[in-house]
A and B are shown apart, each in its own frame.
Chain A
Amino acid sequence: DAMVIQNPRYQVTQFGKPVTLSCSQTLNHNVMYWYQQKSSQAPKLLFHYYDKDFNNEADTPDNFQSRRPNTSFCFLDIRSPGLGDAAMYLCATSTGLLETQYFGPGTRLLVL
């Protein structure tokens, strides 16, 4: 059974049109992470939540926002997608900051 679920698996949006990606987990983990992975590159951490405590990486563009309404769900909002935002977006969870991160299947975003 899937434990970290991301919807949709593929998302097409238009340049400048806001888009939301979602992640849910059945693990009851405290920490949820969002990574951006461009083709043939390493995953890059955008931000993470420890419970409701939001932590933004210093170089994450303001165009990217996140919401975590409850333990199970976390959303990635891209306010005005540019062509350079086309990537795989990976959600991961862990019980704590010192624990192993488990990844969802990712959402591949295409910006036209």
Chain B
Amino acid sequence: GQNIDQPTEMTATEGAIVQINCTYQTSGFNGLFWYQQHAGEAPTFLSYNVLDGLEEKGRFSSFLSRSKGYSYLLLKELQMKDSASYLCAVRDAGNMLTFGGGTRLMVKP
């Protein structure tokens, strides 16, 4: 079966750094995605990791360790508009995405 775990909620301060963790156990692994989803809107693609290591994209970075079944999304210089849910999704052996429940991030002034 597929199991993807991430914290339900996190709170951080504007200008700070926050790390959102994701652990997974899936039938096969063909890559891990992070999506951002504002309330009532569609998920938007943030990052993709298929090899171990860190991928950096502006204020957002994502890390993957396949041996540990672990990823994190790092958000730097937090802005109020970063308040959203962050979804971790794993592509399995069948090439389909299984999503975690999402982490709702609240950025406070």
Contact = CB atoms under 8 A, between A and B. Distances in A.
Interface residues of B, number: 22
Contacts of A48: 96
A105 B42 contact: yes
A103 B99 contact: no
B99 A42 contact: yes
A24 to B, nearest CB: 14
Nearest to B99: A42
A101 interface: yes
B95 A90 contact: no
Nearest to B31: A98
Given A41-B101, A42-B101, A106 B42 contact: yes
Given A48-B96, A100-B48, A108 B101 contact: no
**A-side interface mostly:** loop
B18 interface: no
Contacts of A57: 96
A109 B97 CA distance: 23
B33 A100 contact: yes
Interface string A68-112: 000000000000000000001010000001101111111010000
Contact of A45 (B4, B30, B31, B96): B96
Contacts of B30: 98
Interface of B: 4, 30-31, 33, 35, 40-45, 48, 87, 91, 95-102
Q: Report, nearest first, the 10 A-B pairs whose CB atoms are least far apart.
A: A42-B99, A103-B42, A97-B95, A42-B101, A105-B42, A106-B42, A103-B43, A43-B99, A100-B45, A90-B42
